[in-house]
A and B are shown apart, each in its own frame.
Chain A
């Protein structure tokens, strides 16, 4: 180190700031005069610092991930609270269900209740719609050797579709619930009142002939009724909808406009069979 006298050193210290400020102006001029120098210096510095940044990238990413996880953790907490609340509610329902099940078992023992046997059914593919004498009917393909009877009930995966009216050796025709000729006895699930569901050839059959004092409620579920021994009771049919004109209509559960596959149930019921399709009268032979 060069030994300097104290006054000289003080003078240098006092001078260094003005000199450096002048140098700063010089730097500015240099950067303005030759932009390439600044660029080159930046690139060199970036080269120098690249390993440092590379080493720093790992921890920085970890910190960033942690920060990004915080809202997720908060959401998780909220979700947890919601799930716990829901769990409590479901537990109450489970208790209620178990109690009802026990009560049900008890009552069945008391009444010597005979459980219904599981109905047999065949699943058949819908191959054509329309045709025949009915406006709303579908033709299902039945493989040969499968026994299909008239009066069997057709359901899709959601609910009631119609009844089998004609049976051929390889096919069967199903009269849909929307057809004008369809009359289905139904039960209003809430009030247990009986009514008739009458097809109109429209998308929604109407509800008629309900008992006085049991007005069908909007949104009430309808199931089939065993009245007339044509149907078993309790097959899901649809929901009551009051139309704008004040007519109770039925929004069917089944999607009758896009039927692919129907299940043909054999409940072993005779009852009222659907009428045979009326054959067209032969034109009278000319005399």
Chain B
């Protein structure tokens, strides 16, 4: 093939790409810190993190790599009083499952994805419950875990709507750039 090689991307373009790549994880981190503020709802932190991690893992896995999940989980664990590492493991497992099922899930309707996410929320709350019980060597109360699962599942549509818009904007920007 005859032709000139593609010019190497300039600084601005590289910065643009970097910002786009960092946006999902950064936005998740900011919302997580906001949710950890004195909002009065203790289950808000995990309920804010999980929908975003699962959404980006399904629709844009490159923007939510495992190290980002690890960092977000660690941040969530430090901001809440959960035993260190439980949130990390939960997020990594949720990320791994949604990445391996993304080819199937990304083609389904919103309602089906939400139903699947309800399963994710229940599983995450259950895993957190089991890990807390194992680490503290006593059975924690059951109601907060259920509360957290319901809150997480209920917050998903709002996050899916906003993040879906954001995703479309990012896609358009990439097509133009």
- Chain A positions within 8 Å of B, measured between CB atoms, are 16-17, 20-21, 23-32, 38, 41-42, 45, 49, 52-53, 56, 60
Contact = CB atoms under 8 A, between A and B. Distances in A.
B85 A25 contact: yes
B37 A31 contact: no
Closest 10 CB pairs of A and B: A31-B84, A28-B85, A27-B85, A24-B88, A24-B89, A38-B84, A17-B66, A16-B66, A20-B66, A20-B70
B65 A28 contact: no
A53 B84 CA distance: 23
Contacts, number: 64
Q: Which of B65, B70, B84, B135 gathers most chain A CB within 10 Å?
A: B84
Interface in B61-103: 65-67, 69-70, 73-75, 78-79, 83-86, 88-89, 92-93, 95-96
B146 interface: no
B83 A21 contact: no
28 contacts: A17-B66, A17-B92, A20-B66, A20-B67, A20-B69, A21-B89, A21-B96, A23-B88, A24-B70, A24-B85, A24-B92, A25-B85, A26-B85, A27-B74, A27-B88, A28-B85, A28-B86, A28-B131, A29-B85, A30-B84, A30-B85, A32-B84, A38-B84, A41-B78, A45-B79, A53-B37, A56-B37, A60-B37
B34 interface: yes
Given A38-B84, A45-B79, A24 B73 contact: yes
A53 B30 CA distance: 11
A49 B67 contact: no
B166 interface: no
B115 interface: no
